[in-house]
């Protein structure tokens, strides 16, 4: 059977993976790998080239039980609605209805941070998400500029998106970096690491030891930040679903 980049293999497919899976080609990948996309509810089978797509499907057959277990561990969805508690800058933050149609705003109270917003239903959720995006742009642009100056790099174009799994991506050829707004829910040091991670790709496009030495120069030991995202990423992607 021929496989194509981006092709989805449903659980009932002849490959008998037992889970929904999507094929992905990443030229920077050094080996076959499997990533769980908790938000989409599927496994992503990653190969370094299209020639290796059949190989990664075969590899996935040996990991079918692991994939089923990881997908079963997905956190429940966490709607953005009044009364909910979400993370912001790594701190639990309560959502409150403010009445009217005003934009969401962050305030400090004796009981901790609170986001108050107007709107009802989807309108309330959209206003809260827009606040997260504004805060994410503010923080990530500042940290990106900081790391660019440290490395003597020219400015880049920064955009904020809601990516399905990746926290950020860098395109050195057109000097642009895209971030997931969801990282604003993480502690500030984790967001700073993400900015350093993407800026370092302007120096080394791969994940070689030389690349990681640049990241270490910018933020020191990066392993705790990477672990935080691995451990908490699924929960962040469940927010607003």
Contact 163, 144 (CB under 8 A): no
* Sign (positive or negative) of CA dihedral 74, 79, 80, 83: negative
Contact 67, 60 (CB under 8 A): yes
- Sorted by where each starts, the structural domains of the chain and their CATH numbers stand as 8-72 (no CATH), 85-238 (3.30.2010.10)
Look at residue 12 in the predicted model and tell me its pLDDT: 54
Q: Tell me how far CA of residue 112 lies from CA of 56, 184, 213, in angstroms.
A: 47, 17, 38
Look at residue 14 in the predicted model and tell me its pLDDT: 45
pTM above 0.85, yes or no: no
Ramachandran angles phi, psi of 112, nearest 5°: 115, 180
3-class DSSP assignment, residue 202:
coil
Cβ-based neighbours of 91, under 8 Å, separated by 6 or more: 112, 113
Look at residue 139 in the predicted model and tell me its pLDDT: 98
Q: Quickly count: other Cβ atoms within 10 Å of residue 161's Cβ.
A: 15
Task: Kindly give the parts of the chain with pLDDT less than 70.
Answer: 1, 10-16, 39, 76, 165
Cα gap 111→75, rounded to integer Å: 26
Angle subtended by helix axes 209-219 and 188-200, to nearest 10 = 140
Look at residue 72 in the predicted model and tell me its pLDDT: 77
Look at residue 16 in the predicted model and tell me its pLDDT: 65
Look at residue 13 in the predicted model and tell me its pLDDT: 59
């Amino acid at each position: 059977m021929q496989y194509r980049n981006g092709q989805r293999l449903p659980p009932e497919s002849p490959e008998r993976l037992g889970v929904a899976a999507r094929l992905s080609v990443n030229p920077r990948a050094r080996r076959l790998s499997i990533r769980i996309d908790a938000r989409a509810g599927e496994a992503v089978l990653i190969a370094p080239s299209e020639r290796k797509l059949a190989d990664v499907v075969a590899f996935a057959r040996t990991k079918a039980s692991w994939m089923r277990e990881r997908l079963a561990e997905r956190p429940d969805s966490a709607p953005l609605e009044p009364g909910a508690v979400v993370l912001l800058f790594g701190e639990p933050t309560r959502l409150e209805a403010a009445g009217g149609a005003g934009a969401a705003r962050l305030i400090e109270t004796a009981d901790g941070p609170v986001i108050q917003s107007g709107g009802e239903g989807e309108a309330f959720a959209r206003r809260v998400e827009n606040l997260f995006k504004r805060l994410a742009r503010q923080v990530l642009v500042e940290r990106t500029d900081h790391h660019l100056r440290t490395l003597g790099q020219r400015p880049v174009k920064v955009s904020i998106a809601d990516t399905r799994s990746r926290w950020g991506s860098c395109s050195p050829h057109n000097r642009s970096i895209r971030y997931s707004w969801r990282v604003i829910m993480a502690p500030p040091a984790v967001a700073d690491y993400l900015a350093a991670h993407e800026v370092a790709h302007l120096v080394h496009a791969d994940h070689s030891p030389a690349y990681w030495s640049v990241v270490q120069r910018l933020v020191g030991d990066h392993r705790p930040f990477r672990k935080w995202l691995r451990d908490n990423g699924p929960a962040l992607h469940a927010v607003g679903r």
